Copies of this chain bind each other. A is one copy, B any other.
Amino acid sequence: MKRIGVDLGGTNIAVGLVDEDGNIILKQSVPTLNHRVAEEILTDMADLVNSVIENSGVDKKDIKSVGIGTPGATNSDTGVVLYANNLGFKNVEMGKFIADRVGLPTYIDNDANCAALGEAQFGATKGVDSSVTITLGTGVGAGVIIDGKIFNGFNHVASELGHTVINFDGVQCNCGRKGCLEQYASATALIRQTKEAYAENPQSKLLDYAKVPGDINTVNARTAFDAMRAGDEVAKAVCEKYIEYIAIGLANVINALQPEVIALGGGVANEGENILAPIRAMIKNMTYGPNISEEDLPRTKLVKATLGNDAGIVGAAMLGD
């Protein structure tokens, strides 16, 4: 049966009708306008779901369920979003609200968890029981799959791997702690590191590769990598350090969870083997069992996430089994 997947983001609400093979048959989106009260946002979401169903021409009785990936802390048992900072949500009964207006069983989970489930069912981590999908974006999102299912902890909010400390006297995180992985390995962090490197090395070619060349305010997550490719040594140092931060974080994940596969997503992961190969080499020396052969002790594989922005919709659609 087909299913509906919803990706609720800070900017857009995206809804897709997904088939059994994880293909998105029809996708529509509307702006979230996240300053609004929850009821308005949820009403738009329900309307969009109903619109996608209607426009698809698929009979509602041939649609199994609606799944929603939402930012923040969710209770996937009750369908309540406990807290979502960038939406201003607190104790929002999202599941019930949508189910009432759509007339289909509705499930919710954290957006990073949905992305991990999408990759596990149809993407980079398909075919293995245990995997972790880590998305390097504004923050560091992570979803953990164990025995093919989202691992959520006893209270539904586990796998906040971006908020594990890797440098206890380090950069202040907006979660209140210092030195969280997110402050070193997110795209936001890379942009900060690039700007800092430029400030210390104004002779570097870094700014030539800002979105608007010469404008430091338009430095993005590609700037340092592009400048490195053009031979800039300062950029090279930024990229190498950034890659090391990612490796430190992933090695922690491996020593703790030993997933069969880790999929790396987000814009930075589009660097592909340029970034994955050196991370793999570093991880090899950082993870458990360096004295044991690969034959005796298989190691976690590191790959690029493959579903891109669709992972959230596809994974959300697969909730509730």
Which residues of A are in contact with B by a Cβ distance under 8 Å?
73, 75, 80, 82-83, 85, 90-91, 128-130, 146, 151-161, 163-169, 175-177, 179, 245, 248, 251-253, 255-260, 285-286, 288-292, 296-300
Contacts and interface: CB of A to CB of B under 8 A. Distances in A.
A154 B176 contact: no
Q: How many copies does the complex hold?
A: 2
A252 B130 contact: no
Given A157-B258, A163-B255, A164-B255, 19 more contacts: A73-B292, A73-B297, A82-B297, A83-B291, A130-B153, A130-B154, A152-B258, A153-B259, A154-B260, A155-B258, A155-B297, A158-B256, A158-B257, A161-B255, A165-B166, A165-B251, A166-B167, A166-B168, A253-B256
Contacts of A129: 154
19 contacts: A73-B288, A73-B297, A82-B297, A83-B291, A85-B291, A128-B154, A153-B259, A155-B258, A155-B298, A155-B300, A158-B255, A158-B256, A158-B257, A160-B288, A161-B256, A164-B252, A164-B255, A166-B166, A256-B256
